[in-house]
């Protein structure tokens, strides 16, 4: 023990305390901060707030709720000008049968929302070309038609994005740019006119989509967005062709599986459900039904309601009798 004391005494004699050398302000602040934390110089001048902020400055990343709300207010507005053949719900024709089907889906989801915490929703499918992107876009549009609903549609299908093409928007900057830190949330978020619909496109193509989804920024962002939007609707890759959808479903409140009549097999549906562990599957949307088979009664009902007053009583009676016989 005496040898230790001798060594310490000798070191103190060889290195007496001297005034701090002059240097840059940043260097002096660093030394002062380190000494204060170590308890060696309790009278050292503490670093200024400005200096501390500059020393800890990081790229523009959203970490708190106020920042997300500010980004929503700063979202750039774009016109609603989708592709003519995109098969989107037309707000000016609310009585069309496809629009009514999505309003039915909207009603069921909004009812579920009153019974459980449900704000983030993954829309996916077992295989490609089954209508998941079509369903996600139309569901977002239908939800946004309600005055009290703020809706965000996000394209997380980094492998084959379609939201930008459907709405004729620039694909970049988008979600991949945000996750890689090259764009802020306010730069990637778009608002469709004065509506309640917001959109984030997929962003620049990347070679490692699954690795991006595993970043902490991804789960943090989704968790934060759910507190500022009534619905966050995520378009994800097919379940049986990439693990992206499975990972996204673990970050979200619910999952909708889209299948296509005449295309999707029972085996693929079973495998897709197993890959999701059946934990948060809210239901299955069936796509590709023949219009004549599915909408004949619906069309008759609305034609009767909106145009029945112009018909003759006998015609109304005959049509009503025919409908009853079909039932």
- pLDDT given at position 294: 54
Query: How much is the mean pLDDT over the chain?
Result: 78
Residue 124, SS3 per DSSP: strand
- pLDDT given at position 9: 57
Residue 142, SS3 per DSSP: helix
Which residues have CB under 8 Å from 116's CB, separation 6+? 253
- pLDDT given at position 209: 95
pLDDT per residue over 247-299, tens digit each? Answer: 999 999 999 999 999 899 999 999 999 998 766 899 999 998 766 555 545 45
> How far is the C-alpha of 238 from the C-alpha of 272, rounded, in Å?
9
pLDDT per residue over 176-210, tens digit each? Answer: 999 999 999 999 999 999 999 999 999 999 999 99
- pLDDT given at position 84: 86
Cβ atoms of residues 112 and 222 within 8 Å = no
> How far is the C-alpha of 305 from the C-alpha of 96, rounded, in Å?
14
Domain boundaries of the chain, sorted by first residue: 65-289, 294-326
Please give the residue that has the higher pLDDT: either 54 or 161: 161
pLDDT per residue over 29-54, tens digit each? Answer: 333 333 333 333 434 444 444 433 33
- pLDDT given at position 155: 98
- Judge: domain 65-289, CATH 3.90.79.10: no
Over residues 155-169, the mean pLDDT reads: 97
> How far is the C-alpha of 219 from the C-alpha of 224, rounded, in Å?
9
Q: Tokens 């005494």 identify what position?
A: 9
pLDDT per residue over 112-141, tens digit each? Answer: 999 999 999 999 999 999 999 999 999 999
């Amino acid at each position: 023990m005496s040898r230790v004391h001798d060594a310490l005494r000798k070191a103190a004699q060889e290195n007496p305390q001297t005034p701090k050398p002059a240097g840059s302000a940043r260097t002096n602040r660093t030394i002062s901060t380190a000494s204060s934390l170590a308890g060696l110089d309790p009278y050292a001048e503490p670093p200024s707030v400005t200096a501390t902020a500059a020393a800890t400055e990081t790229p523009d990343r959203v970490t708190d709720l106020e920042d997300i709300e500010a980004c929503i207010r700063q979202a750039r507005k774009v016109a609603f000008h989708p592709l003519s053949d995109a098969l989107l719900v037309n707000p000016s024709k609310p009585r069309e049968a496809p629009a009514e089907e999505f309003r039915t889906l909207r009603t069921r989801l909004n009812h579920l929302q009153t019974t459980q915490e449900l704000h983030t929703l993954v829309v996916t499918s077992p295989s490609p070309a089954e209508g998941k992107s079509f369903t996600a876009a139309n569901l977002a549009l239908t939800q946004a038609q309600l005055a009290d609903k703020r809706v965000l549609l996000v394209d997380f299908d980094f492998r084959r994005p379609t939201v930008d093409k459907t709405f004729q928007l620039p694909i970049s900057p988008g979600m991949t740019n945000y996750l890689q830190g090259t764009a802020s949330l306010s730069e990637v978020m778009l608002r469709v006119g004065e509506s309640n619909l917001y959109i984030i496109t997929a962003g620049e193509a990347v070679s490692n989509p699954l690795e991006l989804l595993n970043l902490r920024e991804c789960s943090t962002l989704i968790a934060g967005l759910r507190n500022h939007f009534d619905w966050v609707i995520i378009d994800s890759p097919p379940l049986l062709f990439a693990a992206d959808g499975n990972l996204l479903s673990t970050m979200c409140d619910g999952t909708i599986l889209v299948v296509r009549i005449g295309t999707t097999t029972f085996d693929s549906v079973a495998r897709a459900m197993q890959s999701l562990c059946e934990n948060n599957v809210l239901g299955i949307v069936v796509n590709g039904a023949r219009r004549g088979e599915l909408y004949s009664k619906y069309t008759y009902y609305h034609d009767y309601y909106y145009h029945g007053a112009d018909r003759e009583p006998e015609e109304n009676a005959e049509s009503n009798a025919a409908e009853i016989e079909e039932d």
